[in-house]
Amino acid sequence: MTIFIDDRPIHIKGSKQAAKLQDETLASRVEYDRIVDARLEGLKITALKGHLLVLNATPVTVEKLVNLLNNYDASELNSVTLVAVDKKALEEKFKSLYKIIKAAGGVVMKDDKLLLIFRRGKWDLPKGKLDEGESSRVAALREVQEETGVVASLGDRICTTWHTYTLNGNRILKRTKWYQMTCLDDANMVPQTEEDIERIEWMDTKKTALALTNSFSSIRFVIESLIEELRVKS
């Protein structure tokens, strides 16, 4: 599970995944700037810099981390990886600290191009909240059509993202299920201005990469996940 807090990835890994951390680090060339063992020391604001690895994390660690991120300047922090014996307990603790809203969205493809929307100064993907009783798959197609006017067919689920924000003083954790889609008809493609969407554009690989420099980490995560899935299938 990866949660984006202020667009910053918080990765939660179980103890069985911990053995793979060294290989993942070498493969991705990511080096941890600080390693904290939660059994030996508490999490402090001074540790929240660069890429942080926390071993033996517990629900108390999660609560402390969220408190630090909400109340102190952690602008120098790039990412946090929490490794726990009980991964599920950490995930449940995170969820308990927020009001959860469910959403769904899609990455629509047409002739090897992706559909991106420009909203509130950032390139984004079409997505939105589930209506009452609505499934994620139905909501994803509906939101794509409402926000872009594009009619699409549904493919495989890409991934699920979690990101936080504040609304009317409440801390929100939005769960979004993302699906691969294929364009069926874009004759009526038009941005939904009521949702602050200014532009819609089909982008090739080069243009997508450039657009993602002005996007969100969670959106880059979705597209990178899709690219990896397509690479494995090819």
**Rounded to 5 degrees, what angle do the CA atoms 118, 225, 49 make?**
80
- Report the percent of the chain where pLDDT is more than 70: 94
- Contact at 8 Å (CB) between 223 and 212? yes
Judge if pTM exceeds 0.95.
Answer: no
Domain end call among 96, 131, 159 = 96
Convert the pLDDT of each residue in 185-206 to its tens digit: 999 999 999 999 999 999 999 9
Number of domains in the chain: 2
Residue-averaged pLDDT of the chain: 91
Show the domain range for 36.
Answer: 2-96
pLDDT for position 19: 61
Tell me the pLDDT band of 168, cut-offs 50, 70 and 90: confident
The answer to whether the Cα torsion of 117, 120, 124, 129 is positive or negative is negative
pLDDT for position 22: 54
Task: Check residues 102 and 31 and name the one with the higher pLDDT.
Answer: 102
Looking at the fold, whether 46 and 68 belong to one and the same domain comes out as yes
pLDDT for position 29: 47
